[in-house]
Structure 1
Amino acid sequence: MYDYIVIGGGIVGLATLRALQRRRPQDRFLLLEKEVEVGSHQTGHNSGVIHAGIYYAPGSLKARLCREGAEATKAFCQTHGIPYDECGKLLVATSEQELARMGDLAVRAETNGIAIERISAGELAEREPNIAGRGALLAGSTAIVDYRRICRALAAEAEAKGATIALGRAALAIRETVDGIEVDTAEGSLKSRKLVACAGLQSDRIARMAGLETAHRIIPFRGEYYVLPEAKNDIVRHLIYPIPDPDLPFLGIHLTRMIDGRVTVGPNAVLGLAREGYAKSAVNWRDIADMVAFPGFWRVLGSNWRSGLTEMRNSLLRSGYLEQCRKYCPSLRVDDLKPYPAGIRAQAVLADGSLVHDFLFGGTDRMLHVLNAPSPAATSALPIGEMIADRIL
């Protein structure tokens, strides 16, 4: 009999386990992860950025969690000897319209207590000779890291404190009884007083498995990346991001320095035909059936078909993808875009077709299901874990 079972070995599940252990060190904990490694899905396929929190509404929960999360993540890395690089992020404006948006972002960042620097076109050319723009914002505290390595350190720390990490063990059924929670696995049934599910791409299914009604579905969006040739690892000194379009749900294609020295380009955002299919050809008929049976899926398509067609074109043709990059990095050529693993975003969608951009929880007195942990969940994971612990204790 365990005191707590946590389902999901991504960074949010591991951060939740850490928060619970810190508060109840005498309790027995089990983490179930269906893959053979922690951080195998969204956590291990993101761009590796520790975000500063520029984009979020002043005073919002996301703004606070991102700021606190960035500090906590860096402190965790220092404690555990995990390298990170505070290389900074430049948000580059390439038009008059983007310059106006840049000004609004600057005000938002300053209100959120994030140190930024306004960069003129001339200063931008001096700092980044390969980047063209009319101006930029520099968020100097933005950093890069390997989130898989953070996950492994979180798992090792949890085990050292007595938790059991069960890899390659999936939950097949979940029942709430008068005494607690029962979780069936292929290796047998497990019992616990309480359960927390941080299942990411499978969060809606795990909730329904536990008998909960869910008003949303997870729609997978593939974020496709390219990597530049090794000879171009020094093409930028900072992370280079476009000024986001407020009418679009994603940030747009950017140049990202990775902690291993490489530079990636991306991501775009195209509909995925498999929740956990990272290859371009991946198809999962169960995932497709779930999508097409959900009214919200068709409403998302109906309201975003123009941008969807553009994203699909850029997915099929590197030349279209390149157009987005060359707005701020004109020296790039098609041959510079080399294959790189994709990521998949678990986008929660309501029946009316609206995208869920905030936290979404469900559960009972004994269960808490994290149905949506909004971007940037990896940066914010440690304080998100504390927030989840507050809810389930």
Structure 2
Amino acid sequence: MARYVVIGAGIVGLATAHRLTEEHPDAQVTVLEKEPRVAAHQTGHNSGVIHAGVYYKPGSLKARLCRAGSASMVRFCAEHGIPVEVCGKLIVATDESEVPRLRALHERAVANDLPVRLISGEQAREYEPHVRGVAALHVASTGIVDFTTVCTTLAALVEKAGARVRLGTRVTALSTRGAEQVVGTTDGDVVADVVVNCAGLYADRIARLAGVVPPARIVPFRGEYFELRPDRRDLVRGLIYPVPDPRFPFLGVHLTRMIDGSVHAGPNAVLATAREGYSWRRFDVRDVADLAGYPGLWRLARGHLGYGLTEVRRSLSRRRFAHSLARLVPEVTAADLVPSAAGVRAQAIAPDGGLVDDFLILRRDRQVHVLNAPSPAATSSLEIARHIVAGLPAPAAG
């Protein structure tokens, strides 16, 4: 019997385990998760958007897996009774200087074979009456869902298929013993034929436990959110995004109607002082030492100091945050915003300071290390799992 261990019970790990139980129903599949619940970090703190795949380089893993994943995620939710809505979204150019970038985005979306339409500012207000802009890109296939609910459903399906989801089990070692993979944990060793590392914020550290030198380092960026007061939710019908700056992996502060009807605003993106740094108060000595000693981060900082300072200033000022939103919806004021839960994005940065802009999946012998899977990983998770499992080696005989 083949034995598989998946490290991490976020959406990519659980989707991979689910795929393994479907492709190899006779296999022994174990998911190891250090937290007492699934979807505890990136998956459980994101904006719930099922992305269409507008932003990603044609032919890249992100472009291919996001487009396919958008459709398969909606199908999965419909099949399992998970509330989901394909509501579409607007990407809005607030002045003429942004129109060339909007057109370039349109060209990229068309190259990715997506249902998109360039529209005027007046047409945009037919979708979002309170929006202000000179032009917009309407993306019909964008949707919304609660990805934590997706994860609890995946975990239930995995366990129903005979696999184990071991919560509260931290991985402490990973080594190869002949044809076997030995995963040391706080609850004893687990022996496997194949290990898939989907540890998210800690994926590079798990890889190093196995003796792998990752080609990039995980750097945590905190995404800070507000939400609109309930009596102001009528300002937003769906999803309203700015035209992003192509130099950065962040999409800019935007407005997102969630599946529960609330409207979230954000995220502001600042360097976190812990891999689980959901507030300015959270500080981890090891994580900060890792950041301070990594040349890639310093090279990134030198090139983008102005951008970083803007994000920090907005983090410290609700008025500045509201001003950014008001470029899209002028009626939004600081008084309309109430704090919401933050998230942390695990962004891989190369030693030269370059941001890894595609999914990064490293295969080594009988190990797979998912080393960069930020947004749109939740959208793409079922297809990432298909991609991972399709490339796994056959377990050794005997």
When the two structures are superposed, what TM-score results if normalisation uses the length of structure 2?
A: 0.96
Report 1:247-266 matches (<5 A). 247-266=247-266
Report 1:114-125 matches (<5 A). 114-125=114-125
Tell me the residue number matched to 1:204.
Answer: 204
For the residues of structure 2 that align with 1:25 and 1:390, how far apart are their CA atoms? 15
Shift of 1:134: 0.6
Shift of 1:375: 2.5
Q: 1:129 to 1:361 in 2, by over 3 A?
A: closer
Deviates more, 1:60-69 or 1:360-369: 360-369
Encode CA deviations 1:34-69: one digit per residue, 9 max, x unaligned: 111111110111100001111122233321111100
Unaligned runs of 5+ in 1: none
In the TM superposition, structure 1's runs of 4+ consecutive aligned residues that sit over 3 Å from their partners are: none
AA at the equivalent of 1:245: D
Contact 2:61 2:359 in 1 (8 A): no
For the residues of structure 2 that align with 1:364 and 1:117, how far apart are their CA atoms? 42
Tell me the residue number matched to 2:77.
Answer: 77
Tell me the residue number matched to 1:97.
Answer: 97
Encode CA deviations 1:200-230: one digit per residue, 9 max, x unaligned: 1001111111121223211100110001101
For the residues of structure 1 that align with 2:124 and 2:278, how far apart are their CA atoms? 35
Encode CA deviations 1:326-363: one digit per residue, 9 max, x unaligned: 11111111111211011111011111111111232334
Report 1:324-363 matches (<5 A). 324-363=324-363
For the residues of structure 2 that align with 1:163 and 1:157, how far apart are their CA atoms? 9
Tell me the residue number matched to 1:22.
Answer: 22
Encode CA deviations 1:97-128: one digit per residue, 9 max, x unaligned: 21222122222212221111222122223332
Encode CA deviations 1:143-166: one digit per residue, 9 max, x unaligned: 100000000001100111110110
Tell me the residue number matched to 2:369.
Answer: 369
Query: How many residues matched?
Result: 393
Tell me the residue number matched to 1:11.
Answer: 11
Shift of 1:317: 1.0
Tell me the residue number matched to 1:385.
Answer: 385
Report 1:164-175 matches (<5 A). 164-175=164-175
Q: Between the two proteins, what is the percent identity of the paired residues?
A: 50
Shift of 1:245: 1.5
Encode CA deviations 1:63-102: one digit per residue, 9 max, x unaligned: 1111100010001001110001111100111111212221
AA at the equivalent of 1:200: G
Encode CA deviations 1:237-289: one digit per residue, 9 max, x unaligned: 12000011223331100000011110011001100001012123111111001
Unaligned runs of 5+ in 2: 394-398
SS in structure 2 of the partner of residue 152 of structure 1: helix
Indicate whether 1:50 and 2:50 are aligned. Answer: yes
AA at the equivalent of 2:206: I
Contact 1:227 1:340 in 2 (8 A): yes
Indicate whether 1:144 and 2:144 are aligned. Answer: yes
Shift of 1:324: 1.1
Shift of 1:374: 4.4
Contact 2:60 2:358 in 1 (8 A): no
Tell me the residue number matched to 1:320.
Answer: 320
For the residues of structure 2 that align with 1:249 and 1:164, how far apart are their CA atoms? 35
Contact 1:32 1:169 in 2 (8 A): yes
Indicate whether 1:183 and 2:183 are aligned. Answer: yes
Tell me the residue number matched to 1:304.
Answer: 304
AA at the equivalent of 1:182: V
Tell me the residue number matched to 1:214.
Answer: 214
Q: 1:317 to 1:12 in 2, by over 3 A?
A: same
Tell me the residue number matched to 2:396.
Answer: none
Contact 1:212 1:363 in 2 (8 A): no
AA at the equivalent of 1:226: F
For the residues of structure 1 that align with 2:111 and 2:122, how far apart are their CA atoms? 26
Q: 1:239 to 1:79 in 2, by over 3 A?
A: same
SS in structure 2 of the partner of residue 29 of structure 1: strand
